[in-house]
């Protein structure tokens, strides 16, 4: 009996050592927990870190009815996300009305070349960060706006003056995560080579080198994970992902 217990103890030690070795081989940000995404959506060897969901996460409605808001065309899903972001932002003392701040909507069909196709489909919105009174940049509002948009389900970044082309105007660019009407280029900003879920700023680069997100990386909600949209920081780049993504980089960025 004693010999059997010793053998079982040794077997347990071997199992623990093997588990520790397998954990050390996982990429940064991965864990050996239960995979929360639908079967087949993650590459081999990648599992999902258990989620601590940010307060304010709310799954948007799957309503793709087209509506017009402040001169821009959107689907109802995007407007619901924008209004939820407004509530989160206002609760933190935000002073900008996000609907009034819209400078470009969705479904533009290539009307603005500088957007390189990201607004051609649904789920895209650009927002002004300037005062309605004196046109000054409201720098203190930028990070609260971006964080509220991200919790509401947008990939959102500041596009500073000159980021897109010489003297391009400062604004916030946002793409609705999981939107079924996204253009190919908008989708690539979510999980493509330069994408939000990978921890980058969403802008394609001629040299092929992604730039790290200056706002701290993606906000992940459980509803995103349920759709196979997870934190991809530390993954080999690019990898096939739900809906596909890494697109060719244009020869020249507008």
How many residues are given for the chain?
254
Alpha-carbon separation of residue 119 from 77, 111, 114 (angstroms): 15, 9, 10
In a domain, 55, yes or no: yes
* Residue 102 covered by a domain: yes
Residue-level pLDDT at 204: 87
Q: Does any domain span residue 232?
A: no
Distance CA 35, CA 131 (A): 45
Question: What per-residue confidence (pLDDT) applies to 199?
Answer: 96
User: Does any domain span residue 158?
Assistant: yes
C-alpha closest to that of 126 among 90, 170, 167: 170
Please tell me the total count of domains within the chain: 1
Which spans in the chain are helix H? 2-24, 76-91, 139-151, 184-191, 222-226
Structure tokens at 211: 């730039």
Q: Cα–Cα distance between 252 and 250 in angstroms, integer? A: 5
Tens-binned pLDDT, residue by residue, of the chain (254 aa) = 434 333 333 334 333 333 333 333 333 333 323 233 343 355 565 555 566 889 999 999 999 999 999 999 999 999 999 999 999 999 999 999 999 999 999 999 865 555 568 999 999 999 999 999 999 999 999 999 999 999 999 999 999 999 888 999 999 999 999 999 999 999 999 999 999 999 999 998 888 889 999 999 999 999 999 999 999 999 887 644 444 444 444 444 43
Q: Is residue 231 part of a domain?
A: no
* Residue 242 maps to a domain: no
Interatomic CA distance for residues 101 and 85, integer angstroms: 13
Q: Do the domain assignments include residue 153?
A: yes
Q: Cis (ω within 30 of 0) for the bond into 238?
A: yes
Rounded to two decimals, what is the model's pTM?
0.76
**Cβ-contact 43, 35 below 8 angstroms:** no
- Terminal alpha carbon distance of the chain: 76
Q: How far is CA 173 from CA 2, 30, 42, 115, 149, in A?
A: 67, 29, 28, 10, 10
Domain that holds residue 14: 2-226
Residue 121 lies in a domain: yes
């Amino acid at each position: 009996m004693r010999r059997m217990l010793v053998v079982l103890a040794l077997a347990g030690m071997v199992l623990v050592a093997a588990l520790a070795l397998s954990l050390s081989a996982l990429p940064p940000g991965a864990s050996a927990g239960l995979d929360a995404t639908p079967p087949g959506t993650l590459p081999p060897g990648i599992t999902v870190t258990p989620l601590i969901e940010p307060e304010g996460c709310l799954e948007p409605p799957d309503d793709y009815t087209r509506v017009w808001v402040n001169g821009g065309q959107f689907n109802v899903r995007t407007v619901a996300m924008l209004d939820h972001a407004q509530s989160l932002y206002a609760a933190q003392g935000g002073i900008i009305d996000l609907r009034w701040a819209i400078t470009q909507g969705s479904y533009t069909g290539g009307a603005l070349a500088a957007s390189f196709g990201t607004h051609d489909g649904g789920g895209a919105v650009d927002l002004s960060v300037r005062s309605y009174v004196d046109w000054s940049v409201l720098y203190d509002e930028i990070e609260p706006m971006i964080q509220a948009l991200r919790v509401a389900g947008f990939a959102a970044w500041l596009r500073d003056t000159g980021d897109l082309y010489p003297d391009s105007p400062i604004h916030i660019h946002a793409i609705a995560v999981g939107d079924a009407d996204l253009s190919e280029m908008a989708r690539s900003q979510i999980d493509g080579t330069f994408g939000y879920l990978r921890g980058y700023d969403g802008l394609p680069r001629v040299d092929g080198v992604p730039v790290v997100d200056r706002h701290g990386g993606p906000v992940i909600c459980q509803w995103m994970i349920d759709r196979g949209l997870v934190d991809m920081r530390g993954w080999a780049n690019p990898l096939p992902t739900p809906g596909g993504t890494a697109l060719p980089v244009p020869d020249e960025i507008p």
